[in-house]
Structure 1
Amino acid sequence: MTHHIDFELDRDYVELNQLLKLTGLCDSGGQGKMIVASGAVYVDGEQELRKTCKIHAGQRVQLDDIEIHVVAAE
C-alpha cells in the first residue's frame, strides 16, 4: 500500500535530500543524500540520483511505498 504525503512548498524549489529530511523520511540532509545515491528515490516515475536535484511544486517523489506530492503553498 502506498502512503501519500502532501508537502507544501513555500519557495521556488526544495533540494531532493532536504525534502526527504523535511518530510521526516530521514534524520538529516546527509542521510537524505545517501538514500538518493542508493537509487531508491524516484521523481515523477524516473530514478533520480542527483542528491540536490531541484524539486518544484507539482512534482511527485517516491521512496519505497511512500509518495510525496509537492504542492505550492497558498
Structure 2
Amino acid sequence: MSKEILLKTPYITLGQLLKIADVISSGGQAKWFLQENKVLVNEQLDERRGRKLYSGDKVEIPTVGTFVMRAQKAR
C-alpha cells in the first residue's frame, strides 16, 4: 500500500521527502541514508538527495514503504 504525499509546491526534493515521511530526522542525514539504502524513483535506483519529485512520481524504499506524489488541489 502506498502513502500519498500532497505537494504544496510544484516539486519537492528526495531529501525533503525522506524528512516529510519521517525516514530521517534531519536534512543532513539524507546523503548518508541514500548511500546506505536502496531507493527507487519511478522504478529506477536513485541516490541524489536533490532529485526533484513531481506530481505522479513514485518513490519506493523497500525497508520503509512506497510514496506517491500528488499535487494539492487548488481551492
TM-score by structure 1 length?
0.86
Note the C-alpha offset of 1:38: 2.7
Note the C-alpha offset of 1:49: 1.5
Segments of 4+ moved more than 4 angstroms: none
1:29 corresponding residue in structure 2: 27
**C-alpha RMSD of matched pairs (Å):** 1.4
1:10 corresponding residue in structure 2: 8
Q: Which runs of 5+ in 1 are unaligned?
A: none
Q: Is the 8 A contact 1:44 1:59 kept in 2?
A: yes
Q: Which runs of 5+ in 2 are unaligned?
A: none
Larger radius of gyration: 2
* Identity score, percent: 26
**What is the aligned residue count?**
72
1:42 corresponding residue in structure 2: 40
TM-score by structure 2 length?
0.85
